[in-house]
Amino acid sequence: MSEIKISVIVPTFNSSNTIERIIHSLYNQIFKDFEIIFIDDSSSDDTVETIRETLENTNIKYQLLTNESNKGPGYSRNRGIENANGDYIVFIDSDDAVREDHLSTLCSNIKDYDSVFIKG
C-alpha cells in the first residue's frame, strides 16, 4: 500500500506570536508525506511574513493563501479544503503544537478504520 498523503489546514489570524510553534511541530513529524495549507484571514500583524521566513529554508511542502478581508475560521478552513492535494485532511489551529507522532498515529489508524477523529 502506498503512503497516505495528508493536507494539514491551518487557518491564521494575527498569529505571529504563535505560528512558529505549529510550524516547528509539523516540521518534526515522523510522517513526511504531507503538505501544510496556511490560510491567513487578513491579519494586521506580520503572520504572513513569519510563515514565509520560518519556512524559507525548509523542505516542507506548503501553500500560503490570504483572504482579502476577514471571513472567519470556517471560511478559511473551507478554502483550505478547496486547495488541498491530500487524500486526507487534518485541521490544526495556529496556536497549537502537536506531538511528533501526530500524523503517523493518524495514518496507522486510517488503515483500520474508515475515518479517524483525534482530539487533544
pLDDT in tens, 19-56: 999 999 999 999 999 999 999 999 999 999 999 999 99
Rounded (5°) CA angle 88-23-52:
105
User: Nearest Cα to 6, choosing from 86, 77, 60?
Assistant: 86
pLDDT digits (tens, 9 = 90+) for 57-68: 999 999 999 999
Classify each residue of 65-87 as buried b or exposed e, where b means 16 or more C-beta atoms within 10 Å of its C-beta: bebeeebeeeebbebbeeebebe
| pTM exceeding the 0.85 threshold for the entire prediction | yes
Is 27 in contact with 36 (CB distance < 8 Å)? no
